[in-house]
Structure 1
Amino acid sequence: MQYKISFQQIDYFLTVADVLSFTEAARILYISQPALSKQINVIETELGFPLFVRNKRHVVLTPEGISLHRDWKSLSQNMESSIYNAKLLRNHASGELYIGCSDTFDYSDVLPKLVRNFMSDYPQINVDASSHSFKTLRESLLADKMDIIFTPYFELDGLTDVSWMKLKDIPLSIIVPTCNPLSEKDSISLRDLKNESFILISPKDSQSGTERTQALCRRCGFNLKKVRYVPNVSSMQLAVQNGLGVAICNSKMFEHDSEMCKIYPLDITQDDSFLVAVWKKDRHNVAVDLFTTLLQNQFTHMIH
């Protein structure tokens, strides 16, 4: 059962219970005695039992009133303490916050603003941000070497007991080296690549990424025949530039490489192609709580 009793009404009751005088309590609360008596009556009506025994000379707590006075006193103190602690965090929070980013995607429109705002609000928290491979990000998060990571949604596979939030969509593109005859076409589809060699980041680094590319190809009616695995995104870029194969990835890394590569939009819908922020649910770090609150305020997506 829910009771419609406000914190202000609880404060009224506690003041009367402390001094056992409606006249004195009204003076302390800066309200009239009739107004105070009315509020106490409202509480008693809501609860269904009296809190005080009143006569012309004395005010005494009933057994129920004694019980509530004890419990509500603690409630009031806890509320004051929580507000104090929140203000303390705002002004004096300190500690470390380690942020990791995938080296495959561009975060320049998301992360710098977040970090600057966070450091402005909490200057005593030391923030460290660095980019890494998918594997390093996963392992560092699980080993508590990183507090929060920014990575593609598909990298959540296998991660348990984590919370995450969607940040932005990352549409994928088809990247073709300009030495490949396909680059002379104005447009191509994924089906046009069925006989091409694909450049993929090694399953040792991103099993989910490899499986995702394979699934996209199967949707177009073919399986990958020729695959060249590379250890990281820089190696992928180099391999495509050298004409060793085609790639499916975010186009940011190839946008300034028009002489060596041509970019085509991927002609398949991608419901799971977006970046996420990920952190462990059981990570007891005030800095993480504060940073994820900032994320919630800046992005409208729900935390999962």
Structure 2
Amino acid sequence: MVSMKQLRYFVEIAESGSFSTAAEKLFIAQSALSRQIKELESQLQTPLFERTARQSHLTPAGLAFLPRAKAILIDVDNASGLATSIGHGQSGTLRLGHASTVPLIGKLKGALELYLDEHAEVCVEVSNESSETQLSHLVNNRIDVGLLRLPVLHQPNDITLLPLFTEQVVVAVGATHPLSSRTRITLAELRDERFVSITHPKRGGLSYLTFELCARAGFSPKPAQVYSLKSTQPMLVQAGFGIALLPISSVHASSLHAIEILDEGCLSTVALAYRARDSALVAEFVAHFQRTFSAASR
């Protein structure tokens, strides 16, 4: 069988024009080089070089063999480079899920752009999914990394959560809402307001946080007649169907009016979710975000 060594030796001789020059470039004895080429010619059952005292010329068979040998070497080098790149987490497609309440703006956008700048051979496929769906898809290998809001009420055993940053939760109202003139408010004052979000103590993320904060203030949030799980909440608030407790980043991404909440503990944490033992691609992505947000918190 023709070996990669023989192909490299053959190409080097063909490009150098002589066995002696090729032997010098390859740092091997000329006799060893000649022996490898003889073995190659024996396997191919045809001479590849016409040998003279000073130079070696390709035979017609050698001329035909040269471009194909070079193509094979290039393909092998490219395949080797790709395998190494993927093995080190420098290449491939990463499937990223994110909750609608975790918009890819501000800090997250900056971190993702920096990662892509440093990993030009990586593509990121983004999907919008609830926190619960992300965890399920991680377990079933449908996504590689999730961006969600804590708390997670049911964390699968092999899923790791990495908190990235915490931000303020505010009351979001539309421009024509009676509260739009307010800049600060207590949760107790929202007792009679209608919430366009579905709050439930058994749902994690922002839904659980909204329910918990209202319960702490002594009431259960009243649902509006028109409500949404997540993605259309800002639109419904803007349309005047009710209010919502939203992270400040979500409000900044819309044209809503934000009212600061005076109660303590109105904070929401964004976290990365990933399988504990995954590919180098995932490990490198997670490490990048961990480094970026650790540095930002200093």
State if a TM-score over 0.5 links the two structures: yes
2:197 counterpart of 1:200: yes
Q: Output the CA distance in 2 between the equivalents of 1:225 and 1:196.
A: 7
User: Aligned pair in 2 of structure 1 residues 145, 223: CA closer, same or farther (>3 Å)?
Assistant: same
2:290 to 281, 296, 302: 296
Alignment of structure 1 residues 47-196 onto 2, 5 Å: 88-89=84-85, 93-154=90-151, 156-160=152-156, 161-196=158-193
**Residue in 1 aligned with 2:275?**
280
Question: In terms of mean alpha carbon deviation, does 179-188 or 165-174 score higher?
Answer: 179-188
2:238 counterpart of 1:250: no
Structure 2, unmatched stretches of 5+, are 1-82
Q: Output the CA distance in 2 between the equivalents of 1:97 and 1:229.
A: 36
Q: Output the CA distance in 2 between the equivalents of 1:94 and 1:121.
A: 11
2:258 counterpart of 1:263: yes
User: Aligned pair in 2 of structure 1 residues 298, 143: CA closer, same or farther (>3 Å)?
Assistant: same
Identity of aligned residues (%): 20
| SS in structure 1 of the partner of residue 221 of structure 2 | coil
**Residue in 1 aligned with 2:215?**
218
| SS in structure 2 of the partner of residue 299 of structure 1 | helix
Answer yes or no: is the 8 Å Cα contact 2:211–2:220 preserved in 1: yes
Answer yes or no: is the 8 Å Cα contact 2:162–2:272 preserved in 1: yes
Question: In terms of mean alpha carbon deviation, does 98-107 or 87-96 score higher?
Answer: 87-96
| Root-mean-square deviation over aligned CA pairs | 3.3
Q: Output the CA distance in 2 between the equivalents of 1:92 and 1:195.
A: 52
Offset at 1:93?
4.5
Offset at 1:226?
4.2
Q: Output the CA distance in 2 between the equivalents of 1:196 and 1:222.
A: 11
Structure 2 counterpart of 1:132, one-letter code: E
Tell me how many residue pairs correspond in the alignment. 212
Offset at 1:189?
1.6
| SS in structure 2 of the partner of residue 110 of structure 1 | helix
Structure 2 counterpart of 1:218, one-letter code: A
Offset from partner CA, 1:105-143 (integer Å, 9 cap, x none): 333233344344434444444332333333432332222
Runs of 4+ aligned structure 1 residues displaced above 6 Å come to none
Answer yes or no: is the 8 Å Cα contact 1:98–1:148 preserved in 2: yes
| SS in structure 2 of the partner of residue 141 of structure 1 | helix
Structure 2 counterpart of 1:157, one-letter code: L
Offset from partner CA, 1:3-34 (integer Å, 9 cap, x none): xxxxxxxxxxxxxxxxxxxxxxxxxxxxxxxx
Answer yes or no: is the 8 Å Cα contact 2:183–2:260 preserved in 1: no
User: Aligned pair in 2 of structure 1 residues 182, 94: CA closer, same or farther (>3 Å)?
Assistant: closer
Q: Output the CA distance in 1 between the equivalents of 2:286 and 2:109.
A: 15
